[in-house]
C-alpha cells in the first residue's frame, strides 16, 4: 500500500492511497462467505457450499465488489490516519476512485484536520477579582429585599397605584384599530416595575385607581421577538379591577426561621444575612473569574480553525437565534447577522478546541462532589425538586453529558485561575451583584 498526503490549506489535507488488488480480492472472498451463510437459493443448494458461493459470486458480483471495496477503503483510511498522525475534524470526502479489475485500487479523499495546539503559560494571564466590604447599609438593604420576597398582599382603596403594587387588570391590544393576536387578557396580575411588558405599559398604570379604565398608546421595540409587532404603534385598552400593596413581614422569630436560623433568634438575622451575602459575593467572584479565564484562554491562544466545524457551529447559532426570534422560517441573514454569527461560531469552536486540549493535557476528570453540587444548583431552578433532576441525570444520556461538560469546563477554568495573576478590584456589594462595577 502506498500513501501520499498533500497539504491543501493550513488544515486541509488530500490523501491518496493505493491498495493492492490482492487485498481487495481477499476481502471479496470474505464477503462471498458472508453472503453464502445468509442467502437462500432454491434448488437444494446447501448454505456455504462451493456451489452456493459460485452462484452468489456470479449473481451478486457488483454488490460484492462494492461491499469489499467499502470495507477495505474505510479500514485502510483509518490505518493511514493513525500512521500519518492525522486527526480528522470532519468526515473525509471521496474525491476520486480508480477501480479497474485486476489493477491496484487508487482513491483520494479530502478532509480537514484538527489544529496542533500549544497552550500558553497561564501564569502570563492577569485576571481581576471584584471585592467589596459588606456595610451595615448593604445588610439593611439585603434584609429589606428578603422582606419583599416574603411579603404578603393587601387590597388598597385609598390611594393611586405606585411602583411595587400588584394590579389585576383586563387589557386588549389594538393595531390599526384591529385586535392583534396574543395581545389581550383578563384578570391578569401585574406587579408595577417588574418590566414584564413593553416600555410604557407599566409606567402608564402608575397613578391609576381601582375601577379606572385607561388607554395606553405605545410602540413595540424595533428588536421585539415577534416580527409582526416589532416597531409597530399599538394601543392597549386597560381596565383596572383591583390594586394590592405589599405588606412586609416583621423581622421576628418566623422571619429568622425562614432564613434557616435554627433557634429562630431575630438577633441573629443580621449575621446570617451578612454570611449569605459574603458567600454569594465569593460565588459570584469565582464565576466571574472563570468567565474571564475562558476569555483570556481564547485571547492568548490564537489557533487555526477547521472551516467545517465553524460552518456547523454557525448553522447551530442561526437555528438557535432565529428560533428564539420566531423567525426560523426565514434564514436569510443581514450583513450584520452574517458578521455576528460567524464571529460567534469561530469563538465557540476555538474555545471548545482549547478546552479539550487543556482537559486532555491536564487529564481532568469530572469530580463527583462538583457533579452533585451542579445537580443541586439545577434542582433549585426547578423548585428544589432534587429527585427529579437526579432521575433525569441517570436516565438521560444527553443530560448527563451536558452536566459533565459543564463540570469539566468549570474545573478547566479553575486550572487557569489557579495559575493566573489575580488582582483585586475594589467595588461595592450591590454594584458587583447588579453588574455595574465593570
For a pLDDT cut of 90, what percent of the chain falls above it? 78
Q: How many CA atoms does the CB half-sphere of 418 hold within 13 Å? A: 6
Angle between the 397-419 and 368-381 helix axes, to the nearest 10 degrees? 120
- The pLDDT value recorded for residue 90 is 95
401 Cβ neighbours under 8 A, 6+ residues apart: none
pLDDT greater than 50 at residue 254 = yes
Contact criterion met (CB below 8 Å) for 161 and 207: yes
**How many other β-carbons are positioned within 10 Å of the β-carbon of residue 195?**
11
Q: What is the pLDDT of residues 180-192, one digit of tens each?
A: 999 999 999 999 9
State the angle between helix axes of 335-361 and 397-419 in degrees (0 to 180), rounded to the nearest 10.
80
As a whole number of angstroms, the distance between CA 413 and CA 410 comes to 5
Of 47-56, 121-130, 159-168, give the lowest mean pLDDT range: 47-56
User: CA-CA distances (angstroms) from residue 143 to 29, 57, 255?
Assistant: 81, 85, 10
Quick one: pLDDT at residue 60? 83
What is the C-alpha separation between 26 and 19, in angstroms, rounded? Answer: 12
Distance CA 415, CA 394 (A): 28
pLDDT given for residue 51 in this prediction:
53
Mean pLDDT, rounded, for 102-126: 94
Per-residue pLDDT at 42 = 55
Q: What is the DSSP letter of 201?
A: T
Question: Which residue would you say has higher pLDDT here, 16 or 55?
Answer: 16
Task: State the DSSP code for 204.
Answer: G
DSSP designation for 90? S
| Residue 52's pLDDT band (cuts 50, 70, 90) | low
Closest of 202, 204, 207 to residue 191, by C-alpha: 202
CA dihedral 321, 324, 326, 328 (to 10 degrees): 40
pLDDT at 328: 45
Average pLDDT over residues 319-343: 76
Confidence of residue 435 (pLDDT cuts 50, 70, 90): confident
| pLDDT for the residue numbered 324 | 56
Domain 2-112 has CATH 3.30.70.1050: yes
**C-beta of residue 317 within 8 angstroms of C-beta of residue 341:** yes
**CATH tag for 257-433 (out of 1.10.3120.10, 3.40.50.300, 3.40.50.2300, 3.90.190.20):** 1.10.3120.10
Fold of 152-247: Chitinase A; domain 3 (3.10.50)
Enumerate the CATH 3.30.70.1050 domain ranges in the chain, comma separated.
Answer: 2-112
> Bridge-partner residues for 112, per DSSP?
12
pLDDT at 50: 57
Mean pLDDT to the nearest integer, 156-160: 90
- pLDDT band for position 294 (50/70/90)? very high
Q: What is the pLDDT of residues 193-237, one digit of tens each?
A: 999 999 999 999 999 999 999 999 999 999 898 888 999 999 999
- Residue 293 pLDDT > 70, yes or no? yes
Q: Enter the pTM of the model.
A: 0.76
Beta bridge mates, 240: 169
CA distance 86 to 89: 9
Residue 40 in contact with residue 49, Cβ under 8 Å? no
Domain with CATH 3.10.50.40 in the chain: 152-247
- With left for phi above 0 and alpha for psi between -120 and 50, is residue 384 left, alpha or beta? left
Instruction: Report CA 284 to chain centroid distance, whole Å.
Output: 20
Q: Which of 162-166, 322-326, 421-425 has the lowest mean pLDDT?
A: 322-326
Mean pLDDT, rounded, of the chain = 91
**C-alpha to C-alpha distance for 306 and 286, rounded to whole angstroms:** 32
Report which secondary-structure segment, H or E, holds 409: helix 397-419
From first CA to last CA, the distance across the chain in angstroms is: 61
* DSSP 3-state of 303: coil
pLDDT bucket at 333, cuts 50 / 70 / 90: confident
Q: Taking every pair of C-alpha atoms in the chain, what is the biggest distance, in angstroms?
A: 103
Amino acid at each position: 500500500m502506498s500513501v501520499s498526503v498533500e497539504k491543501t490549506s493550513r488544515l486541509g489535507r488530500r490523501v491518496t492511497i493505493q491498495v493492492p488488488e490482492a487485498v481487495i480480492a481477499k476481502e471479496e472472498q470474505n464477503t462471498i462467505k458472508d453472503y453464502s451463510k445468509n442467502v437462500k437459493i432454491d434448488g437444494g443448494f446447501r448454505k456455504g457450499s462451493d456451489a452456493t458461493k459460485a452462484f452468489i459470486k456470479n449473481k451478486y458480483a457488483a454488490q460484492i465488489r462494492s461491499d469489499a471495496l467499502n470495507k477495505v477503503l474505510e479500514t485502510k483510511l483509518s490505518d493511514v490516519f493513525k500512521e500519518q498522525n492525522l486527526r480528522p475534524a470532519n468526515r473525509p470526502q471521496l474525491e476520486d476512485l480508480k477501480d479497474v479489475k485486476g489493477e491496484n485500487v487508487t482513491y483520494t479523499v479530502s478532509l480537514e484536520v484538527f489544529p496542533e495546539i500549544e497552550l500558553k503559560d497561564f501564569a502570563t494571564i492577569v485576571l481581576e477579582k471584584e471585592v467589596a466590604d459588606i456595610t451595615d447599609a448593604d445588610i439593611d438593604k439585603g434584609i429589606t429585599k428578603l422582606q419583599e420576597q416574603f411579603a404578603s398582599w393587601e387590597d388598597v382603596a385609598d390611594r393611586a397605584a405606585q411602583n411595587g403594587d400588584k394590579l389585576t387588570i383586563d387589557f386588549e391590544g389594538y393595531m390599526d384599530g384591529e385586535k392583534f393576536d396574543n395581545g389581550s387578557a383578563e384578570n391578569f396580575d401585574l406587579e408595577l416595575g417588574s418590566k414584564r411588558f413593553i416600555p410604557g405599559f407599566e409606567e402608564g398604570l402608575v397613578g391609576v385607581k381601582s375601577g379606572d379604565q385607561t388607554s395606553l398608546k405605545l410602540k413595540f421595540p424595533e428588536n421585539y421577538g415577534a416580527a409582526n409587532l416589532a416597531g409597530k404603534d399599538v394601543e392597549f385598552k386597560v381596565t383596572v379591577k383591583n390594586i394590592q400593596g405589599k405588606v412586609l413581614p416583621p423581622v421576628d422569630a418566623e422571619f429568622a426561621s425562614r432564613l434557616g436560623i435554627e433557634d429562630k433568634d431575630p438577633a441573629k438575622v443580621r449575621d446570617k444575612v451578612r454570611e449569605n451575602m459574603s458567600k454569594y459575593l465569593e460565588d459570584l467572584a469565582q464565576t466571574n473569574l472563570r468567565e474571564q479565564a475562558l476569555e483570556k484562554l481564547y485571547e492568548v491562544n490564537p489557533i487555526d480553525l477547521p472551516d467545517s466545524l465553524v460552518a456547523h457551529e454557525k448553522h447551530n447559532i442561526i437555528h438557535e437565534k432565529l428560533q428564539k426570534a420566531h423567525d426560523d422560517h426565514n434564514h436569510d441573514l443581514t450583513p450584520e447577522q452574517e458578521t455576528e454569527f460567524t464571529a460567534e461560531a469561530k469563538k465557540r469552536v476555538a474555545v471548545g478546541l482549547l478546552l479539550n486540549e487543556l482537559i486532555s493535557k491536564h487529564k481532568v476528570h469530572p469530580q463527583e462532589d462538583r457533579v452533585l453540587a451542579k445537580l443541586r444548583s439545577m434542582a433549585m431552578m426547578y423548585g428544589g425538586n432534587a429527585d427529579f433532576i437526579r432521575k433525569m441525570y441517570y436516565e438521560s444520556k444527553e443530560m448527563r453529558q451536558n452536566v459533565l461538560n459543564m463540570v469539566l469546563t468549570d474545573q478547566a477554568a479553575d486550572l487557569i485561575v489557579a495559575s493566573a495573576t489575580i488582582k483585586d478590584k475594589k467595588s461595592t456589594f450591590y454594584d458587583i451583584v447588579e453588574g455595574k462595577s465593570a
